[in-house]
A and B are shown apart, each in its own frame.
Chain A
Amino acid sequence: MDFSTFMQQMVNGISLGSMYALIAIGYTMVYGVLRLINFAHGDIMMVGAFIAYFAHANGVPFGVSVVIAILGAIIVGILTDKIAYKPLREAPKISLLITAIGISFFLENLFNVLFGGIPRAFAAPAYLTKVIKLGSVMMPVTVFIIPIVTLLILVIILWILYRTKYGMAIRALAFDIPTVKLMGINADFIIMIVFAMGSGLAAIGGVFYAVSYPSIDPLMGIIVGLKAFAAAVLGGIGSVAGAVIGGFILGFTEIVVVASMPELGGYKDAFAFIFLILVLLFKPTGIMGQDLDRSRF
């Protein structure tokens, strides 16, 4: 493989990694605060992509469509928490996990019924599909925009978490919910913010995905969601920076490994799983290493 192809694949990898990163952040924040793997999170990404698609297909300018998609996803995410997760805060963990799977399945099939399972082409605006040339490498401009936007978002999220009082409350909740409540903080409100943030990011990730692989279908969220969670575990579950690092590593690996060894192409989707198993075997706390599940004695 020559250098320009390699560079091309590198950049593709970073681009894919950014998408995983955006979705992984939502998983890791909800897990950090509620110890819940929100199976429906990947499907929220799908919802975001579909809303953007329909808004744009009906003539709404692309930028506005994205904003609508983010808002729509936030609403779905918050509603999911209010209706399905909040009533089960004190219930055994398995009830919550079953409910999350139920919501995930619900969203997939609902969108399947409403819009059909056949993939639709996502018409991105011209300024995003423009291809630019760097040396001998030709790449769509999105491949640069996506990582930059992702890093910007990461900076914003970290700023919120470490420089605002809401962020501090979120971090405190990750340690001990009852104590936080005793401090007079409205835990439910903070949790709602967490879901909102995660869902909004997933929607952006969904739009990026739709623009890069211009097709969307109701089941797109499952595999991407699974991989994003694996990325979150790889980076260290509960850590936002870790989710981003894990996302980039995973995206990178998928593209570059397959580009260097095309015979492994069919196994691309298995890498996330392999990473997950390796992390659990050798360093369960992941790259950023926070031990969230220290037993409560």
Chain B
Amino acid sequence: MILEIKNVTMRFGGVTAIDNLSFGVKSGEIFGLIGPNGAGKTTIFNIITGNYQQTEGDVHFLSESISGLKPNIIVQKGIARTFQNIRLFKSMTVLENVLIGFHNQMNYTFFEAVLRLPRYFSNEKRVKNAAMEILERFGIAEYADYNATALSYGNQRKVEIARALATEPKLLLLDEPAAGMNPNETQDLSNIIKTIKEEYGLTILLIEHDMKFVNNMCDKVLVLDYGEEIFEGKPADAIVDEKVVAAYLGDFTHA
């Protein structure tokens, strides 16, 4: 198990957002977190990434506890994420956005940057090449020097995933990656995700509402409702499980 959620409970004041949740993600899996809106899916993401501190329970990554660690440390441990509402750096180009992902992979000090010593040049060159490679893999290398906000929504989502990939993660958290995409873009996206998973040896945990996407992508899903697990298993089985159907009130025609 690359990621283990152990009896995690999250309370915000009087509201229990997550109730005694436990699950594990195997290395190399594509694991889906699904459930009606407000079920607590993004909250779990925020707990994993260290933005929220769970009220009870523990989170283990690669067999060590990451509870209480700062978010930027958790990134260095190998967990990267994207956001539900795409949060690209609006003043920067596509390439610059991806370069931020490489921030910790560039090994030169502040003074080496100021004085333009050789390590600055060698690192910048190496990383720019690596960044362009990722952009090529996503098919958006031509937009490298465009301001990030100038791209189409689908391409912006790709930039966000590319940026997360630049942090060299072992586990990638994708929060509704297919949101707002048409069927073509969604298909394109699932192909890309599968490709990068193989090429970069990733494990993927994703939140999604688009059931066709989930069916296509996920080895396994966990269904959350009101912060509790109501089903864990194969996507095809999830759709017919009566508790799951009740939670969604039969609304699986999404997508």
Does A touch B (CB under 8 Å) in the complex? yes
**Residue-wise interface mask of A (286-297) relative to B, using a CB-CB cutoff of 8 A (1 in contact, 0 not):** 000000000101
- A140-165 vs B, CB cutoff 8 Å, 1 = contact: the mask equals 00000000000000000000000000
Q: Which residues of chain A from 40 to 68 have any CB-CB distance to chain B below 8 Å in the complex? A: none
Band of interface residues on B: under 10
| Nearest Cβ on chain B to A288's Cβ, whole angstroms | 16
How far apart are the CA atoms of A297 and B50 in the complex, in Å? Answer: 12
CB distance from B187 to the nearest CB of A (A): 29
Q: Which residues of A contact B51 (CB under 8 A)?
A: 295, 297
Bound complex: CA A295 to CA B53 (Å): 12
A93 to chain B, nearest CB (A): 14
- Does B46 sit at the interface, judged by CB under 8 A? yes
* CA–CA, A295 and B51, complex, Å: 8
- Which residues of chain A are within 8 angstroms of B42 by Cβ–Cβ distance? 297
Question: Least Cβ distance of A107 to chain B in Å?
Answer: 32
- Compute how far the CA of A125 lies from the CA of B183 in the bound complex, rounded to whole angstroms: 78
Residues from chain B with Cβ under 8 Å of A297 in the complex: 42, 46, 51-52
Residues 39-50 of chain B: 1 if any A CB is under 8 Å from the residue's CB, otherwise 0?
Answer: 000100010000
Residue of A nearest to B52 (CB): A297
Contacts of A295 in B (CB 8 A): 51
Interface set, chain A 246-297, CB cutoff 8 A to B: 295, 297
Question: Could you tell me the distance in whole angstroms from the C-beta of B87 to the nearest C-beta in chain A?
Answer: 10
CB distance from B183 to the nearest CB of A (A): 29
Question: Complex formed: what's the CA distance from A295 to B42 in Å?
Answer: 14
Report the nearest A residue to B45, measured CB to CB: A297
A297 to B84 CA separation, bound complex (whole angstroms):
9
CA distance A295 to B50 in the complex (A): 12
Interface string of A190-232 (1 = CB under 8 A from B): 0000000000000000000000000000000000000000000
* Residues on A with beta carbons closer than 8 Å to the beta carbon of B46: 297
> Which residues of B, 42-76, contact A by the 8 Å Cβ criterion?
42, 46, 51-52
| CB closest residue in chain A, given B84 | A297
Q: Which of A114-150 contact B (CB under 8 A)?
A: none
Q: Which 5 A-B pairs have the closest CB atoms?
A: A297-B46, A297-B51, A295-B51, A297-B42, A297-B52
Which residues of B are in contact with A by a Cβ distance under 8 Å?
42, 46, 51-52
**Residues of A participating in the B interface, judged by any CB pair closer than 8 Å:** 295, 297
Pairs across A and B, CB under 8 Å, 5 listed: A295-B51, A297-B42, A297-B46, A297-B51, A297-B52
